[in-house]
Amino acid sequence: MTNETGSKAKTNAVAKMRSDLEKAAEGLTHTSESDYPYLFFTLPIWDQSGLNTDGFLRSLGVSQAFVDDVSLPVDKLIEESKLENFLPSIDDLADRSGTDTKDPEVLALSKRFRKLEAVLRKHLGDVKVFRVGQVEISCFIVGRDKSGNFAGLVTTSIET
């Protein structure tokens, strides 16, 4: 396989992943003090040390000098959590709608979130959630794609 063929295959894989993720996330929102959609993103990995808070911040372009300048400890700037703790459970969805887990709309919405989780895990390895910022928090559902880059979905959480 030539470099051109390999490059075209990687481009096609990223396009397929993006299409699948956008389709699975279509119409779903992250609920906090406001509702925000899930949007696709991809980032080159600048630090091969693994999918961790420091490496992810560096891939976002946040340097240690910036962290030092804002006098904010890294653990206040970025927080890591598991995907299953981030996406709403059926109980969360029932609570938000003021109904119960047997409500057809809650069941359908829960099924869509479980499908989104499955699509994320299908296309990405080591999926985690990084919450970056305070008050208006960028929430990155991120993993490594088949090319080795960071990719996933980003949404916003408002927490005053």
CATH of the domain at 32: 3.40.1460.10
Residue 146: pLDDT band (50, 70, 90) is confident
Whether the pLDDT of residue 1 is over 60: the answer is no
Range of the domain at 15: 3-87+123-158
Give the mean pLDDT of 118-142. 95
* Structural domain total, the chain: 1
| 118 in a structural domain | no
| 148 in a structural domain | yes
What type of residue sits at position 92? D
Q: What's the rounded Cα separation, in Å, for the pair 38 and 61?
A: 21
Crossing angle of helices 104-123/90-97, nearest 10°?
A: 140
For residue 64, the model assigns a pLDDT of 73
pLDDT, tens digit, 9 for 90 and up, residues 35-63? 999 999 999 876 666 788 888 888 888 87
Give the mean pLDDT of 144-153. 91
Whether the pLDDT of residue 135 is over 60: the answer is yes
| 24 in a structural domain | yes
| 51 in a structural domain | yes
To the nearest 10°, the Cα dihedral for 99, 103, 105, 110?
90
| 98 in a structural domain | no
Residue 3: pLDDT band (50, 70, 90) is low
- Alpha-helical (H) ranges within the chain are 3-25, 53-59, 64-69, 74-77, 83-86, 90-97, 104-123
What type of residue sits at position 160? T
For residue 45, the model assigns a pLDDT of 78
Give the mean pLDDT of 119-148. 94
> For 114, how many CA atoms within 13 A lie in the half-sphere containing its CB?
9
DSSP letter, residue 88: P
| 10 in a structural domain | yes
Q: If you search the block for the tokens 């296309």, which residue do you land on?
A: 123
Residue 144: pLDDT band (50, 70, 90) is very high
With pLDDT > 70 as the criterion, what percentage of the chain qualifies?
92
- Please check whether residue 88 is in contact with residue 97, taking contact to mean a CB–CB distance below 8 angstroms: no
| 73 in a structural domain | yes
Cα Dmax for the chain? 57
| 106 in a structural domain | no
- Please check whether residue 112 is in contact with residue 98, taking contact to mean a CB–CB distance below 8 angstroms: no
Whether the pLDDT of residue 18 is over 70: the answer is yes
Residue 70: pLDDT band (50, 70, 90) is confident
Give the mean pLDDT of 109-136. 96
pLDDT, tens digit, 9 for 90 and up, residues 71-98? 777 777 899 999 999 999 999 999 999 9
